[in-house]
Structure 1
């Protein structure tokens, strides 16, 4: 009996120990399901959802390198600079989130440049927020952006067509039937007294607080469009108006644009100049600008699905003439090879200039 009791007790003890070990056994956790990147096609190609959010993200940019000969903007000794080389990298980041007021978007563009002489520059090109037709932040002036700049050439602004990067508060209206309108309050970039072109352009003023104002309307039907836009420079207290007609004839596209300066003896943000001061006589900086008016025109001819020819002509009341032509060759998708030649004539200083560019650009 004693032996039997001992055996039964030992068996019970072993069973208890085994049960305790079984209770303490580690159970492997189920692996969490992987979350794959989801495509977000509501805002166009290239967007994807940021994992764990309802915000869509798009990353793009380009790498460009180009060689240039002479300077179309400078007829003086500085324009005979020989061959120069310039390389640029640009990164753009866009976000979009659906809201009850429409898409909430941001657009940020970073630019990195390397120029001859081992000079590197970096800048924030654009950074803005938009919702329900409103936009706040940094972008090109609506005087340029709404009108559509000038022609499809690199040197499209030898004859000045408006300001670029600046802070603004803008409202864009799109009726959905071809009619569009824009109103924009733009930073006058003022802070201290400064001027250029021998005082013909007062670009900054101390204790100045008023913004510049831009407004425009446009209408497009089929392949034809018309836009008119005006800008008021609150520092100079003058402005300019541009009107543009675009036409798509199938075999080619064409545009014609005219500008009027409210005071041809002065330059302002909307009728200014990108030229070197050698393009006009000393003491007559106004002749580096439009004078009273300027006109641009151009055509674009697709030769095939990889090659396009462009031409732009421009002339001003101050007798500045510009002609630019190029070929845009895309041997493969997102790769551009673009040779361009520009001729400029500056009547007021009896000078002219030939200039050329060869550009290679890969976009993504």
Structure 2
């Protein structure tokens, strides 16, 4: 056998072995298909489907740094700074009952070594106009500027609320737990206006009833709120109307209380107005004014005397960059009477820098 025959025989043997080996090849298992995050556009921008479900999720919040200014704002100091972290989880899904919403808002304020905890800011379930859980009441919605005082005490409650909506019109009713509220304190507490209150009404597991009606028609929006504090046996009503006029939005508000209560105790009645001027797409300037009639409260919770008060100020909002804004407010306030009774004039304000996401 010559050299050429040996080579050909070897090639043939290798080819046969290769064919035989290929017939018995091991087939690798296919990888599991990857499930990419899908955009959910059924509930607005920012929502995406939670992988493996038909529930849509939106993650949002902000980081805020703020310095407040005012007379004896923190002890003997006329200024105080804090930083806030807000995280919000908004889940929604379509069901046979309609859109079901679950919302969680977490908030933490870092002010000093004793105030760095994280608390539930809101947590509620919402479906078909029904809303149950811990959330802000209608009294939390006020004017866009930072001059007005149109609510008292906390505006967050464990509550059951139903809202009916028909086009531009809506109406709602709510039962709210006013637990642990003190509407003033005879030991020297002051309300938001800065006036001491002689009325004390502890409200453990108290019930408040609120109702509202409102509409939005083109450039005009308006709403009316009425609430009754069953423990204080007093109530309050408030109305707000806004309209786009020229390069800005003009707003007016008025409130009246039958006596000091959880919803409003700053004065027997008040009127407020502002004009939010949109200078350009980054800057807005909002001057505002508010007048308070009969600011003193006796031990029975009745408004008494003839002391009045007023405040005026201006708020500047500026967009530094996308999702980065700053807000500066300065207010002058004058209350009839001496400083010992919460009277006199004073300046208040704040500087805020906020990054939203």
Query: TM-score band (shorter)?
Result: 0.7 to 0.9
Distance in 2 (CA, whole Å) between partners of 1:252 and 1:162 is: 31
Distance in 1 (CA, whole Å) between partners of 2:131 and 2:52 is: 27
Distance in 2 (CA, whole Å) between partners of 1:348 and 1:270 is: 25
1:234-282 per-position Cα deviation (integer Å, ceiling 9, x unaligned): 110110011121111141101111111113xxx111212xxxxxxxxxx
Secondary structure at the counterpart of residue 337 of structure 2:
helix
Change (3 A) 1:150 1:77: closer
Matching residue of 2:328: 339
Contact 1:188 1:234 in 2 (8 A): no
Contact 1:345 1:352 in 2 (8 A): yes
Distance in 1 (CA, whole Å) between partners of 2:114 and 2:176 is: 34
Q: Give the number of equivalent residue pairs.
A: 313
TM-score normalised by structure 2 residue count: 0.80
Q: Superposition pairs for residues 120-139 of structure 1, below 5 Å?
A: 120-139=116-135
Matching residue of 1:152: 145
Pick from 344, 355, 358: which aligns with 2:351?
A: 358
Higher strand share: 2
Matching residue of 2:202: 204
Distance in 1 (CA, whole Å) between partners of 2:41 and 2:22 is: 55
1:320 deviates by 2.3
1:28-83 per-position Cα deviation (integer Å, ceiling 9, x unaligned): 11112211100001111100000010000000110111223225xxxx68575133
Contact 1:227 1:244 in 2 (8 A): yes
Contact 1:150 1:161 in 2 (8 A): no
Q: Does 1:188 pair with 2:178?
A: yes
Q: Superposition pairs for residues 106-117 of structure 1, below 5 Å?
A: 106-116=102-112
Higher relative contact order (CA 8 A, sep 6+): 1
Change (3 A) 1:254 1:150: same
1:132 deviates by 0.2
Matching residue of 1:284: none
Q: Does 1:271 pair with 2:264?
A: yes
Distance in 1 (CA, whole Å) between partners of 2:73 and 2:240 is: 35
Change (3 A) 1:135 1:301: same
TM-score normalised by structure 1 residue count: 0.79
Change (3 A) 1:231 1:348: farther
The runs of at least 4 aligned residues of structure 1 exceeding 4 Å deviation read: 18-23, 76-80
Contact 1:260 1:294 in 2 (8 A): yes
Matching residue of 1:286: none
